[in-house]
Amino acid sequence: MSQQVSVSLQRRGSIIDLDMESTALGCMHVDNSTIPEAERAGSAKKLLGSSVLYCYVAALDKALDTRGAKYESIDAKATVTAGTDDKGRGRILGITLDVIVRMDADFEEIFDRVSKVMRNGCLISASLEPAFPVTYNLQLECPDD
């Protein structure tokens, strides 16, 4: 069974409206005329990183919840590395996800099992892995330690 989602973009000069066609995500409005040229680059890479990160944390949340583990917070960061390939074309070279789950030590065994499952990534990251490496740094912090 396949599933489709769509987004739409309208560009009028320096004005960009990216409609996520979603109640949860809404529309992103970018006015590049108010942003210095040096700060405009990297938006697409940030969107890619946020997509991977959002998917991974959602899968992690579901995996913990399914096993009855309650967490205090999940703090995560995606770092997208870009460069050029052997033909000089701009390419994504890799994405690193640094994720910290804060939860009671009572759930440490569940976290250990979930962390093994999460080495397989999520829908988005696993789909990207044939093109470039995705590194998963998943850590547990227990407040009582």
Domains and CATH numbers, the chain: 8-39 (no CATH), 43-141 (3.30.300.20)
> Which token pair is 51?
């997509």
What is the per-residue pLDDT for 126? 97
pLDDT digits (tens), the chain, 145 positions: 899 999 999 999 999 999 999 999 999 999 999 888 888 888 999 999 999 999 999 999 999 999 999 999 999 999 999 999 999 999 999 999 999 999 999 999 999 999 999 999 999 999 999 999 999 999 999 987 5
How many C-beta atoms surround the C-beta of residue 92 within 10 A? 16
User: What is the C-alpha to C-alpha distance for residues 81 and 107, in angstroms, rounded to an integer?
Assistant: 33
Other C-beta atoms within 10 Å of 68: how many? 8
- β-strand 71-84 against 134-141: which pairing, if any? unpaired
Phi, psi of 61 (to 5 degrees): -55, -45
pTM, rounded to two decimals: 0.92
Closest C-alpha to 20, from 30, 3, 7: 7
Is the distance from CB of 71 to CB of 105 less than 8 angstroms?
no
